[in-house]
Structure 1
């Protein structure tokens, strides 16, 4: 079941279509490339999503994104096929918003703590009645609420930042965005400071004032949270996860992860799967 809108005005967020399906075993889509964003929320059951060469095993309460221009494939489980809901959308604000909360082709998975919040919104989409203009306006309002739920959940699951104001706020937000988009690269505090246009020691002092921790600790926390997410949701070898989160030495990664989570990566994966 799905519905499609044709009045694409390229606003901040513009809903293209939405739908809901209980899939038969091994039902699949792709591999394909889209010219829009696709957000898929899994009600129940199991399946896999493959994007950027990584396969993620997902279940009820998880979701995944497909990004414009990136090849993606997803398939329902053979024994316990998933039931899912989806929205396709675009908009001038979409890329900046998603990257700002840490969702990207390299980080497309989210596990939702409040499963009912998204279901309620998707139910409203499914039950829309009225003329086309009313439905389009109302549906785009629901899409904004879906984005708000994502924002709230990502904010709670990411390292916290205290509110800043004025010019400092712009510097801090730019630094956070740079870190969350480039944690997999060989970035350093001097590089981050240069990126936002500040001298290193001044930047470090400002960042610690608002974050309660220096930027190198914040960067490490982002990498560790991402590593934990990959261990839980993908079948990537630990060595590949190390390289995917900015480490060039698996022993260094394992030691760091063990200090952070008080257990080695392999044990963490076994306990969370």
Structure 2
């Protein structure tokens, strides 16, 4: 049995873009090493390289081994434990950002099904190691390099999500599938004029029923889900040199005054007030 160890690299200059990598690392665990029960406010993805262990979330237990990855979602109670005789060796990284849920959703990954099984983890694990090494360098390019490796990693995961699935996944009903497609559409097309009625009709459902099921699935109505995306993107753009009118247009609002009213409702201050606050409190 390999000697237990733990290494982690913290991102010294995390960006505030689509994917904000917080830290990355690896560990050879001791037998029966238990983490949790706990809750995080970020995504934490583990890649099991060797050994075995158990991951528990939402009342389900997953028996995992080399080649498997498990994803901890923000706000979800979880715990995981290494095997008593073959404790796992894994690498991990933590990330925040508006696009991570969307990227995982496209792959069919959610807190209800947080497992990705691959036939060969060498490529996946090497990309996580590359993220760690980039962060450990601490130079001015480390965040950009780490983000590049993360995008390659997500692309590699996408190649595996339709094959070699060892944990049974319940098939989506038609309405669930259409809601997932709606989420993807809204996430990608939020800059454009969007009619929820037209969206519902395009997938064969009445707006009222589609909106009801969408809210049941996501906790938000389609319109509020779209507004949330737009407001989050607008907040990110407040640190740019764009004018309020340009930001308004960039996130799908034709009327900048209406945009400002919605921004105030969402964040409790107008876009101009938020910018002033950023200048006075840059941290």
Interval containing the TM-score (normalised by the shorter chain): 0.5 to 0.7
Structure 2 residues not aligned, in runs of 5+:
1-6, 166-176, 185-196, 206-283
Q: Distance in 2 between matches of 1:151 and 1:59?
A: 19
Aligned residue in 1 for 2:160: 153
Q: How many equivalent pairs are there? A: 175
2:101 aligned with 1:95: yes
Aligned residue in 2 for 1:37: 43
Runs of 4+ in 1 over 6 A off after TM superposition: none
TM-score (norm 1): 0.58
Aligned residue in 1 for 2:114: 108
Aligned residue in 2 for 1:133: 140
Match of 1:143 among 142, 150, 154: 150
2:126 aligned with 1:123: no
Q: Distance in 2 between matches of 1:5 and 1:199?
A: 42
> What is the RMSD of the two structures over their aligned residues, measured on CA atoms?
2.8
2:13 aligned with 1:7: yes
Change in CA separation of 1:131 and 1:105 when aligned onto 2, cut-off 3 Å: closer
Write the mapping of 1:203-218 to structure 2, written as runs, cut at 5 A. Answer: none
What is the deviation of 1:54? 0.5
What is the deviation of 1:155? 4.7
Do 1:102 and 1:180's aligned partners in 2 also have CA atoms closer than 8 Å? no
Q: Distance in 2 between matches of 1:59 and 1:38?
A: 17
DSSP 3-state at the match of 1:121: helix
Q: Distance in 1 between matches of 2:201 and 2:15?
A: 36
Write the mapping of 1:45-64 to structure 2, written as runs, cut at 5 A. Answer: 45-64=51-70
**Deviations 1:111-155 (Å, cap 9, x if unpaired)?**
112322112212323443644322222111111111111122225
What is the deviation of 1:94? 0.9
DSSP 3-state at the match of 2:146: helix
Q: Which protein has the larger Cα radius of gyration, Structure 1 or Structure 2? A: 2
Which segment drifts farther, 112-121 or 141-150?
A: 112-121
DSSP 3-state at the match of 2:21: strand
TM-score (norm 2): 0.56
Aligned residue in 2 for 1:28: 34
